[in-house]
């Protein structure tokens, strides 16, 4: 079977790379993904998916139907990218999609358009191989992952797939794992520390103490634990107010309420050193308008998540990859910089869908200048994802000799 997949992939390779390149040449900042969505939809149709649709949020969904109602496997990658920090730092433009020395360059190459291309073509590869599926294989290109705390994914599971009668039993994200099998990462919360006082001098001192006194982190740690913003001052209802934005890592089992309480106590302790200042700490909330025009309220918390490394999903994924001759390397995302994350939190914590990541990009490349992904890894990821997908929802080929008998 794996020879068959390899053979078919060879035939699909140039189409795969053209698609990956086209994705990188298409602007798709968060909440402005419609051009990329159109491209994905066109490719899913070209690969002859059984069902192709773009939902109200702007997510694109393609389904290969199995001969039974389940299990359902979701292959998901986000289409959106962050804005380039400094366009002048890119040779050419961030949307060049150039290939150099075996690498494909462009904004979102690693995070995660390379993964998206691999997932679309992994399903296409199974389709071309005519291998029958038992359950349904769902490929989703989601919106608003980068800036919207995965609201695209939330809507996909809660509304779109539900309406289609599909409830994924497993999910694989195309986020950058450098072809490792990743099964979780820490979370993060964005908080606002609000200080109020009728004495502007007290308030200024308190804001200074809180902003500098709470921002201490271990300078030697490779993993960023907390990021304090600068105080923003305003007058409200006759009171002087300051707001300090904080981004804080959330470890496994760490509840956001507990962290809010700890932050409030610490902020109060520091603020009191300056005088009479009221302190309030809360999780940041705001509304996001999607490319489709839909408005969604967002609470900026991503909880840590982890899938049991001995769960059926990971066991079958490991076994399928090994049988296909791929490297099997389980691990977790490090998320060395704050502000990073995946929709695994939504899938795992909110919808209780066992989730793993398997993508061609390297985590360190995500959101970096001149972001790139190795071409060979996109191809390998396509093959590996197809092998795992077949292991999870395909009809087994046990007992059959691949050649003439």
Give the nearer residue to other proteins in terms of CB position, either 67 or 255: 67
Give the nearer residue to other proteins in terms of CB position, either 16 or 274: 16
Give the nearer residue to other proteins in terms of CB position, either 258 or 312: 312
Among 14, 130, 234, 352, binds other proteins (CB under 8 A): 130
Instruction: Note if the bond before 71 is cis, omega within 30 degrees.
Output: yes
Binding residues among 210-239 for other proteins as defined by CB under 8 A: none
Q: Which is nearest to 192 in space by CA: 288, 267, 251, 249? A: 267
Report, in angstroms and rounded to the nearest whole number, the Rg of the chain calculated over CA atoms.
23
Give the nearer residue to other proteins in terms of CB position, either 2 or 351: 2
Q: Are 4 and 402 in contact (CB under 8 A)?
A: yes
Asked if 328 interacts with other proteins (CB under 8 A), we say no
Asked if 311 interacts with other proteins (CB under 8 A), we say no
Task: Kindly indicate which of the ranges 25-33, 251-259, 322-330, 372-380 contains the residues binding other proteins, using the contact rule CB under 8 A.
Answer: 322-330
Among 3, 86, 234, 235, binds other proteins (CB under 8 A): 3
Among 11, 215, 251, 339, binds other proteins (CB under 8 A): 11
Give the nearer residue to other proteins in terms of CB position, either 66 or 84: 66
Give the nearer residue to other proteins in terms of CB position, either 131 or 335: 131
Asked if 316 interacts with other proteins (CB under 8 A), we say yes
Asked if 127 interacts with other proteins (CB under 8 A), we say no
Rounded Cα distance between 230 and 344, Å, is 30
Instruction: Give backbone dihedrals phi and psi of 340, rounded to 5 degrees, phi first.
Output: -100, 165
Among 7, 89, 258, 339, binds other proteins (CB under 8 A): 7
Length reported for the chain:
405
Binding residues among 64-83 for other proteins as defined by CB under 8 A: 67
Give the nearer residue to other proteins in terms of CB position, either 132 or 339: 132
Asked if 46 interacts with other proteins (CB under 8 A), we say no
**The tokens of 184 are what?**
């979780």
Instruction: Give backbone dihedrals phi and psi of 161, rounded to 5 degrees, phi first.
Output: -70, -35
| HSE, side-chain direction, 13 A CA sphere, residue 219 | 0
Rounded Cα distance between 192 and 200, Å, is 19
Q: Give the Cβ contact number of residue 89 at 10 Å.
A: 11
Asked if 129 interacts with other proteins (CB under 8 A), we say yes
Give the nearer residue to other proteins in terms of CB position, either 51 or 199: 51
3-state secondary structure of 60: strand
Asked if 391 interacts with other proteins (CB under 8 A), we say yes
Asked if 131 interacts with other proteins (CB under 8 A), we say yes
Task: Kindly indicate which of the ranges 125-133, 278-286, 342-350, 369-377 contains the residues binding other proteins, using the contact rule CB under 8 A.
Answer: 125-133
Q: Are 225 and 217 in contact (CB under 8 A)?
A: yes
Query: What is the smallest separation between the CB atom of 11 and other proteins, expressed in angstroms?
Result: 6
Q: Give the Cβ contact number of residue 236 at 10 Å.
A: 9
Helix-, strand-, coil-residue percentages of the chain, each rounded to 5: 35, 25, 40
Rounded Cα distance between 384 and 103, Å, is 19
Asked if 404 interacts with other proteins (CB under 8 A), we say yes
**Degrees to nearest 5, angle at CA 163 with 161 and 168:** 30
Q: Which is nearest to 189 in space by CA: 301, 350, 105? A: 301
Give the nearer residue to other proteins in terms of CB position, either 217 or 319: 319
For binding to other proteins (CB under 8 A), which residues are involved? 1, 3-4, 7-8, 10-11, 67, 129-132, 134, 315-316, 318-320, 322-324, 387, 391, 394-405
């Amino acid at each position: 079977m794996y020879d068959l997949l390899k053979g078919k992939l060879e035939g699909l390779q140039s189409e795969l790379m053209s698609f990956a390149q086209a994705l990188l040449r298409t602007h798709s900042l968060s909440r402005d993904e419609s051009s990329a969505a159109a491209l994905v939809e066109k490719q899913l149709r070209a690969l002859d998916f059984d069902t192709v649709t773009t939902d109200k949020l702007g997510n694109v969904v393609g389904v290969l139907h199995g001969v039974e109602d389940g299990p359902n496997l979701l292959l998901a990658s986000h289409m959106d990218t962050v804005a380039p920090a400094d366009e002048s730092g890119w040779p050419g433009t961030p949307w060049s999609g150039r290939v150099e020395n075996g690498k494909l360059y462009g904004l979102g190459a690693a995070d995660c358009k390379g993964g998206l291309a691999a997932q679309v073509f992994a399903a296409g590869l199974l389709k071309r191989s005519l291998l029958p599926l038992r359950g349904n294989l769902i490929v989703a290109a989601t919106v608003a992952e980068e800036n919207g705390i995965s609201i695209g994914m939330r809507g996909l599971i809660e509304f779109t797939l539900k309406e289609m009668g599909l409830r994924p039993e497993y999910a694989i994200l195309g986020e950058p794992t450098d072809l490792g099998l990743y099964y979780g990462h820490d979370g993060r919360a964005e908080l606002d520390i609000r200080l109020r006082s009728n004495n502007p001098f007290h308030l200024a001192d308190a804001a200074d103490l809180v902003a500098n006194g709470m921002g201490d982190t271990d300078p030697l740690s490779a993993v960023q634990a907390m990021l304090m913003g600068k105080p923003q001052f305003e007058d409200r209802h006759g009171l002087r107010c300051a707001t300090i934005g904080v981004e804080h890592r959330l470890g496994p089992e760490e509840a956001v309420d507990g962290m809010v309480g700890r932050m409030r106590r610490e902020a109060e302790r520091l603020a009191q050193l300056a005088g009479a200042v009221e302190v309030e700490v809360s999780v940041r909330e705001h509304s996001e308008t999607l490319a489709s025009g839909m408005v969604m309220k967002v609470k900026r918390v991503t909880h840590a998540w982890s899938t049991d490394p001995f769960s059926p999903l990971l066991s079958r994924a490991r076994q399928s990859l090994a049988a296909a001759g791929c490297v099997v390397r389980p691990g977790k995302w490090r998320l060395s910089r704050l502000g990073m994350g995946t929709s695994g939190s939504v899938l795992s914590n909110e919808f209780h869908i066992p989730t793993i990541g398997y993508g061609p990009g390297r985590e360190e490349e995500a959101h970096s200048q001149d972001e790139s992904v190795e071409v060979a890894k996109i191809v390998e990821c396509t093959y590996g994802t197809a092998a795992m997908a077949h292991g999870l929802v395909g009809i087994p080929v046990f007992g059959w000799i691949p050649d003439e008998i």
